[in-house]
Copies of this chain bind each other. A is one copy, B any other.
Amino acid sequence: MTSDTSVPESGPPANGLPRRAGIADVAARAGVSVGTASKALNGRGNLREETRARVRAAAEELEFAPSTVARSLLTGRTFTVGIITTDSYGRFSIPIMRGAEDALGLGEMLAFLCDSRDDPIREQHHIKRLLERRVDGIIVAGRRTDARQPVGRNLPVPVVYALAPSADESDISVTSDEPGAARLAIDHLVRTGRRRIAHITGPHSHASSRVRADSTVEALRAHGLELVGDPWFGSWSEAWGRFAVAQLLRSDPDVDGIFCGADVIARGATDALRESGASLPMQVGVVGVDNWVISAEAARPPLTTVDLGLQELGRRAGELLIAAIDGSPAPGLHTVPGHLVVRES
C-alpha cells in the first residue's frame, strides 16, 4: 500500500471530528521543511515568492490554523486576559465587558470570563486558574464604586480594577466620575429653569450615593442654590422612587426638579409625579443616572439621564491593561467622564 497523500497515517481520531493539520502537514504538502513553512506563513526570512505562495496554498487547503498554544510556550505570551466580574454579568459589568472586549480585540486578545459572584474564595480560585493558564493580565470589574481589597499581592501579571478601584493606590484602577455626574445633572436642571431641586438616591452605605449627594449640594451651591430638604437615601428601586416622591410632595409641594441617583428611582419618581397630577416635564424636571436604555426609554416621559460611560470605562481598562502588559503600567486611579443623555423628562 502506498499512500498518495503526504498526511501521515495516524489512526483515525475516532471522535468523528476531522483531524487538525499541523505545520508539518502543511510543509510536507508544499514540499518544504517546517522551518521554511513557518517563515512563509509568518512573513519572515527571505523566501522565493513562489515558495511562499505554495506554502500558503497548502495551508489553505488543509485549513491550517496555527496553534497559539505552541507559540505561547515559546514566546511566553498567550494573548489572553482574564476578566473577573463580581456581579454575575449584571447591568454594570456588561457594558464594561463590552468595552474591554473592544480594546482587547484590537490587540488580538481574547478574554476569559469569570464570575466570582461576590465570593472572595471563588475569586481566588479564578485568579489561580487564570494564572495557570498564563493569561497576560487580569481585569477585575466591580459593581460599585466603593474601593475594594486588591485580589492579591505581587501577582506575576498586571491587574486593572474597573469601577470598584483597588484600596491600594499603587494598583491600576479606573472608575467613573461620580462628582461630574452629579454636576451634569444639576447643571441641566438649572439650565432648564429649575430652582427648587431635591435629590433622591440609593442606600447611604454605598459610596456612590454619598458622593453623588455631596456633589449635588456643591453643584447647586455653585449656582447659588440650596438643595430642597436633605438628600433622600433609600434603595435602588422604583418603589423607593415612588415612595420618596410621595413624601417629598408633602414636605415640599413646590419642588420643580428632582435629581435621582438611578434610572430605576427616576422611573418610580416620574410615575408617582404623573399619578399625583403633575404634568411632566412642565412642572417638574427629573434626571436619572445610568442611561439604562430599556428602562429609561420605557418611562413616561422617557428619562433624561447621566450615562456614566461604563463602556468607555471598560475600554480604558482594556487599554490600561494592554499598556501594562507592554511594560508601561499607569498606576493610580483613573477616571472616565460621563455625559448627559437628554430625553423628555
Contact = CB atoms under 8 A, between A and B. Distances in A.
Contacts of A88: 98
B101 A110 contact: no
A157 B13 CA distance: 12
A94 B97 contact: no
Contacts of A327: 14-15
Nearest to A237: B298
Contacts of A264: 294, 298
Contacts of A133: 68-69, 80, 110
Q: A18, A66, A133: which has the most chain B beta carbons within 10 Å? A: A133
Nearest to A71: B132
A78 B88 CA distance: 25
A97 B89 contact: yes
A238 B329 CA distance: 46
Interface residues of A, number: 54
Contact of A128 (B20, B65, B294): B65
A73 B94 CA distance: 33
Nearest to A129: B110
Given A112-B111, A154-B18, A238-B298, A65 B329 contact: no
Contacts of A15: 327
A45 interface: no
A128 B72 CA distance: 17
A333 interface: no
B113 A97 contact: yes
A69 B65 contact: no
A89 B78 contact: no
Contacts of A343: none
Nearest to A275: B275
A282 interface: no
Contacts of A134: 67-69
Contacts of A158: 17
Interface string A90-111: 0000100110010000001011
B115 A130 contact: no
Contacts of A97: 89, 113
Contact of A112 (B14, B110, B154): B110
Contacts of A8: none
A17 B72 contact: no
A101 B130 CA distance: 15
A239 interface: yes
Nearest 3 CB-CB pairs, A to B? A113-B113, A238-B298, A89-B94
Interface of A: 14-20, 65-70, 72-73, 78, 80, 83, 88-89, 94, 97-98, 101, 108, 110-115, 128-134, 154-158, 237-239, 264, 267-268, 294-295, 298, 327, 329
